[in-house]
Amino acid sequence: MRIVVYIYFLFSLSILSCSAHNLDIPAMESEKADSFKVSKTEEEWKKILTPEQYYIMRQKGTERPFTGAFWNHKEKGIYACAGCGQKLFRSDIKFESMCGWPSFFDRIDTANLVFVKDTSYGMIRTEVLCGNCGGHLGHIFRDGPPPTWLRYCINSAALQFIPSDEQKLNPSQNSK
């Protein structure tokens, strides 16, 4: 019985850590939130994304904690947007937050992400969108490690991974 209570406690804690009330994060809203380089119809998105990716990236859904491909992923490389390939995060800025989703304390480039105030589900959070296609990636919280103290809590299904070896073979992709 103790084990069940302990597991329930850990699961509850992981959910709360990724949905904390974040009044201290500035709105960080961008004028760019309405116009993106990559623009597709919903039918076009449905053709290129899996049903899970479409639900997360276009309908602002989320995957269950500890179920995504990258929450415990340790390989070296780049995490890019699953919708358009925009490079977003490096593996060396990923950390173990134990919230059940891939977590990063920084981003590759400030122009690659857009931030929007999110008041869904009775919470005030900051949503993270791909700066290239506008796909919903996850949320940002102010409970990460130094030096930024930020935690980008990102859905695995919104990401694709490019291993370091592939980066060396395809240098032209580094300019995305």
Query: Would you kindly state where each structural domain of the chain is located, as residue ranges?
Result: 2-175
The pLDDT tens digits for 140-165 are 999 999 999 999 999 999 999 999 87
> Once rounded to an integer, what is the mean pLDDT over residues 66-79?
94
The pLDDT tens digits for 75-119 are 999 999 999 999 999 999 999 998 999 999 999 998 899 999 999
Residue 20 pLDDT greater than 80, yes or no:
no
Q: In what side-by-side order are the strands of the sheet with 77-81?
A: 87-90, 77-81, 159-163
Which residues are annotated as catalytic?
153
The topology under which CATH files domain 2-175 is: 2.170.150
Residue 68 pLDDT greater than 50, yes or no:
yes
